[in-house]
Every structure is written in C-alpha cells, then in structure tokens.
Structure 1
Amino acid sequence: MREEITRLYRGIIAGAHPVLRRVTVQDWSGGEHLPEGGFVIASNHISNVDHFPLGHFLVDHGRAPHFLAKSSLFKPPGVKQIMQGTGQIPVFRGTTRASDSLAAATAALRDGACVCVYPEGTITRERDFWPMTGKSGAARLALETGCPLVPMAIWGTHEILEPYSGRYVPSLRPPRTVSVRVGAPLDLDDLRGQPLTQAVLREATDRLMSRITALLEEIRGEKAPEHRFDPRTDVPARGKSKKGKA
C-alpha cells in the first residue's frame, strides 16, 4: 500500500518546487532504491535547510515525506495547520508524551507513508560534517513494523546555511550544488523477529550509520575518520559543549 498525497501537500509542492529548482543544482542518485509501500528513510544532518532538498528529492520520486519534527514547530498559527495538514509528526522531547511520536510514525508507516528520520538527533557537531553516532529510533521503527530502512546521504546544504555560525539568512546566489544519494534498503533480516534489546537496536543503528557514512564518502570522494564522533563523550567542534564551550 502506498499513501495518497493530500491536496494541501500538492499545493505546497507546486509552490516550492520552482523555487528550489532555481536556488539549487540537483546532484541526485539512487531514487530506484525507494520502496513502493511504507518505509523509513534515514539521512545525515548538516544544516537547518536539509529538509527542503530531502523533501524535494522524495517528492520528485512520487513520495510525500513525513518528518519527525520538534513539537514547537506545531504551535505558530498557520504553520501548525500546514504541519498537521501535511502529516508531519511532532516530537515531544523530555515529556510524558515522548513516545507519541513513535506511535504516530508507526501508524503512518502501516498506512504506506515515507517517514524521514535524522538518526543523529541533531545537526552534526563533527568538525568536517561527517555523521555522528546515531540514536535507535529509526532502527526501532523499521524492526517493529517490518518496513524497509533506507539510508540517505546529503551534501552541500551547509554552504547554503552553515550550522552553528550565528547566520540565519541562507546564501542562495549563486545556486549551490546539493547532492542527495540513496542506498538500497538495509539488510536487517537477521535481526527481525528478535526481541528489541539494546544490543539489537545498537547493531541495527551501527549498520545504518556505517551505510550513511559510506554514501557520503562516495559523494565527497574521501574517507571519513575511523572514529565516529560521539557527542556524549567527544568535545564538540561545532555548537556548544555541556560546559558552554565551543
């Protein structure tokens, strides 16, 4: 089963599509790996504008992306109606409703939707924009529902809006090349049907982050560091540490 794109979603797409075509140069590959029914797609995260080219890529391949987004984005009038009307999924971090987002994402997947997750949980703080260690949400969704888990890598959006720079206005001229590459669904057959222990979820998540990193290596034409940055233990090169230092 594959979900239908709503009329509101189609209207937003019609308005945004020509703008995105003008301000970015698309270097896209791997669309043939997108499944027909419900699936989880997981990408690295390097800029606050990542959602737009990722959504552009998916829409151009006939899918309506449903992002897990901070609940605060659902509060402003107008924005709230758009977020709800296009089926975006609020994440209530640090509250008693924290599990609601997983329940909503699970329901969407079973209805044939494409659910988008940034498994790092935030924009990377690695010095050279390589992926960090991942959280287990994407793997949990895929294993609980039996849906495919599809890796994706993005590159170039940090040149439109660099994270942690204090700049809030995107640089749109000249158009920046944005690369999006999708890989084949992750092989999780040996983990499906097992109890979702921390060890199983960590194994699935490690496979996912390794595949995302490999896709990004292909785009960039260089190797990632052997040590994957862990924001829990490593000193952030971008943003602030727990002590407030950059």
Structure 2
Amino acid sequence: MSRRRIGFWYRLAAVIAKPPLIVLFKRDWQGLEHIPADGGFITAVNHNSYLDPLSYAHFQYNTGRVPRFLAKAGLFQGSFVGMMLRGTGQIPVYRETTDALDAFRAAVAAIERGECVAFYPEGTLTRDPDMWPMTGKTGAARVALLTKAPVIPVAQWGANLAMPPYAKENRLRLFPRKTLKVLAGPPVDLSRFEGQEPTPELLREATEVIMAAITELLSEVRGEPVPAALYDHRKARAEQRRKAAEEGSK
C-alpha cells in the first residue's frame, strides 16, 4: 500500500497523534529499509506499554506502509477511539467466541490485498519482570504460513519508560524526555515450515523462531544479552498457584 492510499482516517489519526509524539519524545528509528515497499506482509512486534502502539505506528507510518493492528473487539464499541479504529481499518479480535476466527480471516484478507498486518504475538503486555518478550501465541505464524507473506520482526523500547505497564498510577512520565526506540529487522526465515501440515507443534516452533528474532532485536536496542529463556506467563501462574496451595496446606 503506497502513501497515497493511506486514506483519510489514517491521515487524521496522524494529524492528531504525531505532533505530541514529536514534541514530547525523542526518536531512534532503525531498520526502516526492511519494511517492504509493496505487497502484503506481517510485522511481529513486542508489547511493553499501552503507549507503544502509537510509537510503533508513528515509525511505520513514516515508511508509507501503514499497519493494520489486531485489537480487542471491545475497543471498537462507541467512543472516539472506536470510531478511529474502525475508520483506520484495524481488525477486531473476538476472544473465545464464535466470532474468534473473524480476525484470522480479516488478517489473511488484508495481506492478500497487499496490506500490512501488525501482530503482537504475546497477545498482551509482557509480564516478564525484566520487560523482555514472553512466549508468543501462534496467530502470526499461522497467517504467515498460509499466505507466505514475509514476517518482519520489530523491537521497541522507551514507551515503557514513559508509561510502565501495570503501574499502580497509570500516568505518563514525560520528564526527563524519553527516547522511543524502534528497530525493524530482516524477514524471519520460516522456509523450513512451509508446505507442511500446520500442526500445533509446528506452529509453536515457528512462533518460537519469530519470538527469537524479536528478542534478538530488543537485545540490540537495549544493549543487553538475550535472556536464557522467554518468560512463560501460564507456567509462572501455575507455579504461583502451586506455591499458594502448598502454603495453604501448612
């Protein structure tokens, strides 16, 4: 999708969002050359702040290839935010309902139209205590293997310093002025998974490859070594419940 086809609603969103982002934050953008100039593609992005969709969207808007985000269906209902999400062509996700497949179909259709679909493979804000990506869900890998669209890994850092996730006081911390860092990498090599039955095991393995690429980029952005293993929120919760049960039985 070229810049001239971005459309009225996305341009309106940019007019509203870009000025405060430019004034309030510094930017360190790298890897824009990896965003395809044409054709459908997927971006797989880490998620560490309620603010980072704006940071990442600003980065990619400037390439002329706007992202279509998958977002919780509830955000589309009423309100100015819902109107903007609908107008800019974002994709509602209906979790655990009969409409759950609609997001998958919409993502595939958008890619086949030559658009970009942005996935947050973790499915939610990271719960990792050190703010690294968690284990991912398989949606991005499933869509990628079906459409054969390139998957561009993207790592971002800085929005979480301005608006930390799960902070007791969910307010912006603007000073000192934060730098919003975004780094896009080359397409993830998923060739060894193509042409195979998309079993749960294969999709999990492909997802691990995608998450590893994002984590490597974030390691570069942060200037820190990659963690030994990605944080698994389900396992962490199960361990917490086990410990609580043990304490309760004493």
Higher Cα radius of gyration: 2
2:180 maps to 178
Give runs of aligned pairs for residues 1-246 of structure 1, distance below 5 A. 4-35=5-36, 36-235=38-237
Aligned length: 240
After TM superposition, the score normalised by the length of structure 1 is 0.92
CA distance in 2, matches of 1:213, 1:87: 28
For the 8 Å contact 2:151–2:187, the answer to whether it is kept is: yes
> Runs of 5+ in structure 1 lacking a partner?
none
SS, match of residue 235 in structure 2: coil
How far 1:65 sits from its partner (Å)? 1.3
CA distance in 2, matches of 1:52, 1:242: 35
1:26 partner letter: R
For the 8 Å contact 1:49–1:161, the answer to whether it is kept is: yes
For the 8 Å contact 1:150–1:185, the answer to whether it is kept is: yes
For the 8 Å contact 1:2–1:113, the answer to whether it is kept is: no
CA distance in 2, matches of 1:15, 1:212: 29
1:189 partner letter: S
For the 8 Å contact 1:23–1:174, the answer to whether it is kept is: no
SS, match of residue 47 in structure 2: coil
Deviates more, 1:134-143 or 1:192-201: 192-201
CA distance in 2, matches of 1:56, 1:95: 32
For the 8 Å contact 1:44–1:212, the answer to whether it is kept is: yes
How far 1:103 sits from its partner (Å)? 0.6
CA distance in 1, matches of 2:51, 2:216: 22
Deviates more, 1:63-72 or 1:226-235: 226-235
Q: Give the number of the structure whose residues are more often helix, by fraction.
A: 2
How far 1:228 sits from its partner (Å)? 1.4
Aligned-residue CA RMSD in angstroms?
Answer: 1.8
1:10 partner letter: R
SS, match of residue 19 in structure 2: helix
CA distance in 1, matches of 2:156, 2:223: 13
2:14 partner letter: I
Identical-residue share of aligned pairs (%): 45
For the 8 Å contact 1:161–1:167, the answer to whether it is kept is: no
Deviates more, 1:158-167 or 1:129-138: 158-167
